[in-house]
Amino acid sequence: MYIILGATGHIGSAVAQSLLDQGESVTIITHDAKKKAEWQQKGATVALTDVYDTDPLRAVFQQGKRLFVLNPPAPITTDTAGQERRSVQSILAALRNSGIEKIVAESVYAAQPGDRIGDLGVLYELEQGLIKTGIPTSIIRAAYYMSNWDMALATAQQTSQVPTLYPPDFTLPRVAPQDLGVVGARLLQEPIDQTGLHYVEGPARYSSAAVAAAFGKALGKAVKAVETPRQDWVSRLQQTGFSQPAAESMAAMTAITLAQTYELPDAPIRGTITLQDYISALVNPGK
């Protein structure tokens, strides 16, 4: 039995679907009762519990042997780093005496120790905590999610602009959730003692200008990437709904990414879905 924590988001759902497509037995964990019928129709077992409820979470873990861990993102209206550290600690506590034999965990490029640096710090702590459990663990360090651009669709449609915190010509490794799903499922199915750190990105690296061009091609009009000056990052994020602590964490994470003072792999696992593939499917779902 494979257990997927975070199965109702982009990445976790892709992992779960990849396993189900192969006829595997899958239990997904969600706190959203509205998702239950949908996943049951797909053939999954659904466990309704909250990531902060350690004992019920452990009880679900005890029903399987292999676990995909994605630390659920906290609402941007909260102190995201603080909330996400709480969920990391609950997950790690729930693993004690769980019987889980192997873990695959979702992390990100540039994960590193530090406070108030968004996912980079929180997911590094998750990585280290999982290793300390002694349970064989494979870690996926994923490139910048293409799905982070989903929220730009409305702006591209309405104003022909794509807002970005990065210079328009600054390139980043990016990856589609579906590619991460394939890799996550494969790593879960590997022998227990086959572990390690795996960097995953798409077939190329892309700039915000390339994102705007992809929206433009899909929408059939010119779309421009518009940069927010660094001194305005926090205030602009707050205008879009971020709390001040969440905005400061996001700004700090963006600064680290922009400086590129972290390891970029020479030979990552490469997915097949291009940025244009992803954006075109976002603009015209079902085609």
- 287 pLDDT above the threshold of 80: no
Neighbours of 243 (CB within 10 A): 17
- HEC states along 14-69? HHHHHHHHCCCCEEEEECCHHHHHHHHHCCCEEEECCCCCHHHHHHHHCCCCEEEE
Residue 137 is assigned to a structural domain of this protein = yes
Evaluate whether 5 touches 12 at the Cβ level (below 8 Å): yes
Cβ neighbours of residue 55 closer than 8 Å, sequence gap 6 or more: 94
Residue 95 is assigned to a structural domain of this protein = yes
Evaluate whether 180 touches 248 at the Cβ level (below 8 Å): no
Domain that holds residue 30: 2-145+175-202+264-272
Mean of the per-residue pLDDT values of the chain: 94
The pTM for the full model equals 0.93
- 67 pLDDT above the threshold of 90: yes
CA dist 199 to 105, 134, 146, 277, Å?
Answer: 12, 22, 15, 21
Query: What pLDDT, in 10s, does the model give residues 16-61?
Result: 999 999 999 999 999 888 888 889 999 999 999 999 999 999 999 9
Residue 165 is assigned to a structural domain of this protein = no
Strands 144-145 and 171-175: parallel
pLDDT-above-90 percentage for the chain: 89
Residue 266 is predicted with a pLDDT of: 87
Query: What pLDDT, in 10s, does the model give residues 167-220?
Result: 999 999 999 999 999 999 999 999 999 999 999 999 999 999 999 999 999 999
CATH code: domain of residue 131 = 3.40.50.720
Q: Whole-angstrom Cα distance, residue 282 to residue 11?
A: 15
Strands 66-69 and 137-142: unpaired
Residue 61 is assigned to a structural domain of this protein = yes
Residue 230 is assigned to a structural domain of this protein = no
Residue 9 is predicted with a pLDDT of: 83
Residue written as tokens 């085609």? 287
Residue 282 is assigned to a structural domain of this protein = no
Query: What pLDDT, in 10s, does the model give residues 7-17?
Result: 778 899 999 99
Domain count within the chain = 1
Residue 286 is predicted with a pLDDT of: 72
Residue 78 is assigned to a structural domain of this protein = yes
Residue 37 is predicted with a pLDDT of: 87
- 115 pLDDT above the threshold of 80: yes
Query: What pLDDT, in 10s, does the model give residues 82-95?
Result: 999 999 999 999 99
**Could you give the dihedral angle defined by the CA atoms of residues 56, 61, 64 and 68, in that order, rounded to the nearest 10 degrees?**
130
DSSP line for the chain = -EEEETTTSHHHHHHHHHHHHTT--EEEEES-GGGHHHHHHTT-EEEE--TT-HHHHHHHHTT-SEEEE-PPPPPTTS-HHHHHHHHHHHHHHHHTT----EEEEEEETT--S-SSSTHHHHHHHHHHHHHHTTS-EEEEEE-EEGGGGTTHHHHHHHHSEEEESS-TT-EEEEE-HHHHHHHHHHHHHS-TT--EEEEEE-SSEEEHHHHHHHHHHHHTS--EEEEPPGGGHHHHHHHTT--HHHHHHHHHHHHHHHHT-S---SS-EE-S--HHHHHHHHHSTT-
Average pLDDT score over residue span 101-111: 96
Q: Residue 129 — very low, low, confident or very high, per pLDDT cuts 50/70/90? A: very high
